């Protein structure tokens, strides 16, 4: 079960926590049977995707056990908070575990991801299922799993808590694996992506091997407050000198920064690091028995050493910058859901987001080197007063990342960038504007999300997101967080033209409809009410080869309040009326998903002659809106 929740306000977030518990209670299996997740079964299909990682050695050896079958009196969280930290198993997902450690610093975020009050082992309401929420593509997605966990020799083989009786980490890891398709899909990833998925906030990566300019931000320039509030992770890209047991690509968590004064009066900045492997793997001067401690007063040294938990060690800033290649910093987020700037500490209380698509031949114009750059999607940002503004462009992955830890980022991500121009709309000329150097700009990067942090004066700005390569298709989300009042909207553009060819003419038909609460607002196929959505029939008669049908869905909503929309096309069996089809037992022949926060979505496809129905929907049920569905078919004359 994957459910999409709109939890934008603080009250909605609290309501969603209650709803999560209600879902568990209301879906309790009959006859006291424990829940079995048919969508993510206790089978090899949930562990493996292509057997390209060392996990392939586990084939046929894994047993799936529930926590009460692994130990006596299991808990979600241990009594000692230190023992709640994650410990990595044989799955290469240290990047996810660093983000999990961050949740333990913020009870509000932890409750958001793992709604409290769910029945656990020993509770009469326990039914073997747990709910989690992850931020995906601009919305919070709820994932339900059973509590059967992969084990070897009756012990968890993947991630767990430091306490062997605590299971929140193992359950969260399972839900995240379900979201991605399998455990093996979690092998090798980016800490910054996991941070965003667990918070809905933003994150940045800074290289430690290049010297930043005086104007560039770096981890050493973070304020003391930001070092305390931010989630910070450090990453190794190659085998380090001081940590010889570590191979390439390993991530750790920064737990604490502190300044100390040596007996000689020298100021030293010390950093406490946590290795998700659960062991102290540092051989520098600040290792537990290192020479660095003798330079401090005994009471100071003892106090710092006593703060080390299992798997933690201290190092100074120079060692940190030498041993690690990169740091990832997650922006703090308040209980009200507001992002806090890591640059100034300002609360960015105003936020807007809007989705878009790069469509080949229409809006996939590529970078500014191409003459087609102006065809890219364009957006208006209006700034009402001077303030700090954080712009971000997030692309949806084209397909699942191949397992095996490949570093070929272009296998699943495009190089993307965001450019902006300040304009006078009364005298606006698009071609002249785009020929000028942008006011805001960045280099295209193979990242899931790229950012521009700046201060803007009042006025109107043109924003153009682009992929580097012309013709590269994809969906994206444009987000703006600011300390000042803003508005964000899409610039109107003409619909994509059909690629006409010989073998027939084209006929267009448009149907106007609405999603009505309690009647025809059934939501996506993830909901049991999907079948009550409107159904639009059409017939395909001409098939000269190649694409012969374009279906476009347009929602009539304010540009600043668009729903996530999409549609499915079903083939009507010969002789059967489309209005009586049982959609729950059918597989669509064409889909326009994932649902996108766009004014219009479309598909150009090939369909064999026959009868079809289109089922348009919002992602979340019980949303009211009007829509237009246009079907363009190739026909014989």
Q: Which of these CATH numbers, 3.10.180.10, 3.40.605.10, 2.40.40.20, 2.60.120.380, describes 349-490?
A: 2.60.120.380
The C-alpha atoms of residue 164 and residue 174 are separated, in whole angstroms, by 17
Q: What number of CA atoms fall less than 13 Å from residue 230's CA on the CB side?
A: 28
| Res 575 pLDDT > 80 | no
| Res 520 pLDDT > 80 | yes
- Do 313 and 275 touch, CB atoms closer than 8 A? yes
Sign of CA dihedral 235, 239, 241, 242: positive
Q: pLDDT, tens digit, for every residue of 122-145?
A: 999 999 999 999 998 888 999 999
Q: What is the pLDDT of residue 12?
A: 45
* DSSP SS3 for 157: coil
Q: What is the pLDDT of residue 397?
A: 78
Report the candidate in 440, 225, 460 with the shortest Cα–Cα distance to residue 347. Answer: 225
Q: Give phi and psi for 269, each to the nearest 5.
A: -100, 120
- Confidence label for 248 from pLDDT (cuts 50, 70 and 90): low
Read off the DSSP letter of residue 75.
Answer: B
CATH topology agreement for domains 349-490 and 505-635: yes
- Do 204 and 191 touch, CB atoms closer than 8 A? no
Q: Which of 101-115, 235-249, 468-482, 598-612 has the lowest mean pLDDT?
A: 235-249
* DSSP SS3 for 77: coil
Is 484 a residue of the active site?
no
Tokens standing for 586? 């059918």
Q: What is the pLDDT of residue 354?
A: 93
Q: What is the pLDDT of residue 9?
A: 42
Mean pLDDT taken over the chain: 87
Report the candidate in 107, 86, 451 with the shortest Cα–Cα distance to residue 253. Answer: 86
Sign of CA dihedral 73, 77, 81, 82: positive
Is 94 a residue of the active site?
yes
Q: How confident is the model over 33-59, as a mean pLDDT?
A: 92
Residues 6+ apart with CB under 8 A from 240: 246, 323, 324
- Confidence label for 7 from pLDDT (cuts 50, 70 and 90): very low
| Res 496 pLDDT > 70 | no
Q: pLDDT, tens digit, for every residue of 395-414?
A: 987 654 434 333 344 457 99
509's enclosing H/E stretch is strand 505-515
- pTM for this one? 0.77
The C-alpha atoms of residue 307 and residue 288 are separated, in whole angstroms, by 12
Q: What is the pLDDT of residue 579?
A: 61
Q: How confident is the model over 467-490, as a mean pLDDT?
A: 94
Q: pLDDT, tens digit, for every residue of 201-242?
A: 999 999 988 776 655 678 888 999 999 999 999 998 865 555
Sheet of strand 155-156, all strands in order from the earlier edge strand to the far edge: 63-65, 149-152, 155-156
Q: pLDDT, tens digit, for every residue of 268-314?
A: 999 999 999 887 778 889 998 899 999 999 999 999 999 999 899 99
The C-alpha atoms of residue 484 and residue 323 are separated, in whole angstroms, by 40
Q: pLDDT, tens digit, for every residue of 337-359?
A: 899 999 999 999 999 999 999 98
Tokens standing for 354? 């809007």
* Paired residues of 315 in beta bridges: 271
**Pick the catalytic residue: 94, 98, 100, 367?**
94
For helices 94-103 and 168-180, the axis angle rounded to 10 degrees is 130
Domain boundaries, the chain: 2-196, 206-210+222-330, 349-490, 505-635
**Pick the catalytic residue: 85, 250, 419, 568?**
250
| Res 121 pLDDT > 70 | yes
The C-alpha atoms of residue 635 and residue 637 are separated, in whole angstroms, by 7
| Res 613 pLDDT > 70 | yes
- Write the CATH number of the domain with boundaries 206-210+222-330: 3.90.70.10
Q: What is the pLDDT of residue 6?
A: 47
**Pick the catalytic residue: 275, 475, 533, 548?**
275
Rg (CA), the chain: 26
| Res 76 pLDDT > 70 | yes
| Res 502 pLDDT > 80 | no
The structure tokens 């989300």 sit at 477
- Do 117 and 17 touch, CB atoms closer than 8 A? yes
More confident residue, 178 or 242: 178
- Write the CATH number of the domain with boundaries 505-635: 2.60.120.380
Is 624 a residue of the active site?
no
Q: Which of 29-38, 83-92, 539-548, 600-609 has the lowest mean pLDDT?
A: 29-38
């Amino acid at each position: 079960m994957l459910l999409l929740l709109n939890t934008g306000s603080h009250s909605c977030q609290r309501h969603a926590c209650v709803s999560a518990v209600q879902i568990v209670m209301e879906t309790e299996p009959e006859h006291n049977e424990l829940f079995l997740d048919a969508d993510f079964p206790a089978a090899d299909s949930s562990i493996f995707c292509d057997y390209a990682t060392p996990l392939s050695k586990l084939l046929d050896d894994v047993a799936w056990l529930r926590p009460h079958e692994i130990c006596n009196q299991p808990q979600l969280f241990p009594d000692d908070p230190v023992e709640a930290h994650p410990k990595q198993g044989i799955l290469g997902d240290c990047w996810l575990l660093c983000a999990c450690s961050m949740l333990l610093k913020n009870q509000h975020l932890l409750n958001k991801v793992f709604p409290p009050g769910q029945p656990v082992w020993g509770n009469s309401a326990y039914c073997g299922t747990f709910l989690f929420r992850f931020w995906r593509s601009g919305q919070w997605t709820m994932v339900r799993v059973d509590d059967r966990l992969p084990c070897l020799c009756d012990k968890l083989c993947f991630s767990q808590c430091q306490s062997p009786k605590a299971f929140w980490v193992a359950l969260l890891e399972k839900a995240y694996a379900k979201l991605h398709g399998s455990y093996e899909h979690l092998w090798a990833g980016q800490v910054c992506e996991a941070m965003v998925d667990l918070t809905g906030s933003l994150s940045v990566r800074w290289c430690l091997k290049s010297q930043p300019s005086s104007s560039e931000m770096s981890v050493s320039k973070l304020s003391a407050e930001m070092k305390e509030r931010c989630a910070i992770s450090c990453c190794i890209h190659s085998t380090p000198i001081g940590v010889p047991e570590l191979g390439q690509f390993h991530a750790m968590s920064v737990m604490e920064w502190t300044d100390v004064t040596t007996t000689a009066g020298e100021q030293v900045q010390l950093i406490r690091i946590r290795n998700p492997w659960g062991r102290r793997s540092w051989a520098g001067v600040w290792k537990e028995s290192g020479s660095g401690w003798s330079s401090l007063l005994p009471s100071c040294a003892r106090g710092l050493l006593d703060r080390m938990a299992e798997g933690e060690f201290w190092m100074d800033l120079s060692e940190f910058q030498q041993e690690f290649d990169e740091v990832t910093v997650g922006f703090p987020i308040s209980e009200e859901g507001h992002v806090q700037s890591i640059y100034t500490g300002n609360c960015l209380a105003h936020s807007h987001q809007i989705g878009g698509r790069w469509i080949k031949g229409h809006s996939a114009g590529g970078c500014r080197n191409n003459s087609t750059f102006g065809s890219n999607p364009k957006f208006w940002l209006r700034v009402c007063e001077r303030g700090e503004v954080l712009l971000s462009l997030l692309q949806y992955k084209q397909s699942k990342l191949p397992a095996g830890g490949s570093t070929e980022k272009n296998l699943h991500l495009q190089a993307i960038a965001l450019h902006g121009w300040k304009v006078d709309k009364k005298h606006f000329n698009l071609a002249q504007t785009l020929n000028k150097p942008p006011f805001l700009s960045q280099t295209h990067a193979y990242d899931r999300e790229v950012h521009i942090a700046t201060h803007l004066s009042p006025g109107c700005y043109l924003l153009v997101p682009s992929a580097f390569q012309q013709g590269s298709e994809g969906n994206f989300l444009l987000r703006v967080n600011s300390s000042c009042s803003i508005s964000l909207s899409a610039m109107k553009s003409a619909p994509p033209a059909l690629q006409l060819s010989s073998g027939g003419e084209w006929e267009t038909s448009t149907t106007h409809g609405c999603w009505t609460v309690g009647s025809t607002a059934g939501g996506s196929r993830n909901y049991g009410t999907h079948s009550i959505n409107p159904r639009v029939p059409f017939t395909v008669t001409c098939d000269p080869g190649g694409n012969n049908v374009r279906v476009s869905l347009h929602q009539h909503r304010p540009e600043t309040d668009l729903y996530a929309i999409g549609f499915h096309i079903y083939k009507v069996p010969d002789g059967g009326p489309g209005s009586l089809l049982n959609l729950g037992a059918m597989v669509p022949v064409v889909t326009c998903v994932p649902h996108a926060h766009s004014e219009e979505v479309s598909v150009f496809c090939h369909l064999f002659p026959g009868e079809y129905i289109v089922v348009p929907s919002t992602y979340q049920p019980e949303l009211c809106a009007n829509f237009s569905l246009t079907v363009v078919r190739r026909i014989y004359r």
